[in-house]
Amino acid sequence: MRDNKSRLSEGMNKKVLIFDCDPGIDDAIALAFFSGVIKQNKNNYDEYYIISTWGNVPLEKTLKNSIICKKIFDIPVQIVRGKDKSIRGDVIFAEKVHGKDGLGGYSEKYFEIAKEEKITDLKFFLDNLENQSSEIEIIATGPLSSTYDILSRKRLRERIQKVVWMGGAFFEDGNITPYAEFNSYCDPEGVEILIEFAKEKKCVYFVPLDSTKKTQIKRDDFLHILETVKNKKVREFISDITENAKVLILHDPLAVFAFFFPDLVKTFTSYAEVDKKAFRGRIYSIISPNQYLEVVYDFDRENFFRSLVSSLNSI
């Protein structure tokens, strides 16, 4: 791949990568993964952005946690203030899983490094992005409320090359209701517009509970794996935020893995619809080779953890 300067000098479009997330413990680990991978592949994109969206906890807390993660993991990104509620206007949080602050009670410990960060408003960011000729790729690991705003703009929509979203449950029970995964339940209108976009451009991947449950690992075993990570600050932070969990399920890191290492995940192609009413967030699907949505159902577990540790060693 050409480096950034060569690509731009040849008149090729700038490449922009957006990470839309709602940190969140596993989002934080996903951001660490993200940071390491982009440091290993410095010339793949020209600009990186984190859009902090409501979800696991309210927006002001996910925004603060995004800043903390940017500082801890030295992520070369600009941070954007995303949406604070769903498209229909309601909210639901996952504080029982992530703690009231989203980081297992540890955001105050790292509060000082979250100060004096320049934050961009979502509308301002999207207006500027519309005026560029950049190609856009998106990783999303929370409710799709902010991604909805991107997909609602025709001039941005037509320049999107790839979207990977952690969300939904296809053949597994849900984790917020018996039939719906949390992110899908939070904003089914966001899921609907992403499915519609997938019909237009076959470049959308869902990473649902069907696959993310396979990342389950005992916290002690996970910390043992991380002993080879050289950055003590990174190890301490991950140890802190996971302190109250005996078992971890690395939902969002798997979305990062699927985005950057697509050859190491297995997918099926599906037709899909999302229920927005009685069974809010439930995804109905039909597997068919002639459909438009790529759904990750399995992955190389050994390579997943190896890639995660390798990336953390690049921070």
pLDDT band at 12 (very low <50, low <70, confident <90, very high): low
pLDDT band at 3 (very low <50, low <70, confident <90, very high): low
H helix and E strand count, the chain: 14, 12
The answer to whether the CB of 249 falls within 8 A of the CB of 216 is: yes
pLDDT band at 5 (very low <50, low <70, confident <90, very high): low
Give the whole-angstrom CA distance, residue 23 versus residue 72. 14
DSSP class of residue 142? S
Give the whole-angstrom CA distance, residue 240 versus residue 179. 32
- Does the pLDDT at position 9 exceed 50? no
pLDDT of residue 111: 86
pLDDT band at 32 (very low <50, low <70, confident <90, very high): very high
The amino acid occupying position 158 is E
pLDDT of residue 42: 77
What backbone torsions phi and psi does residue 92 show, to the nearest 5 degrees? -150, 140
pLDDT in tens, 106-124: 999 998 888 878 999 999 9
Whether the predicted model's global pTM rises above the 0.75 cut:
yes
* Lowest mean pLDDT across 18-22, 114-118, 129-133, 174-178: 114-118
* Lowest mean pLDDT across 108-117, 138-147, 187-196: 108-117
Give the whole-angstrom CA distance, residue 41 versus residue 47. 13
Q: Mean per-residue pLDDT for 166-184?
A: 97
Domains with residue ranges and CATH for the chain: 4-312 (3.90.245.10)
Give the whole-angstrom CA distance, residue 265 versus residue 216. 16
The answer to whether the CB of 138 falls within 8 A of the CB of 205 is: no
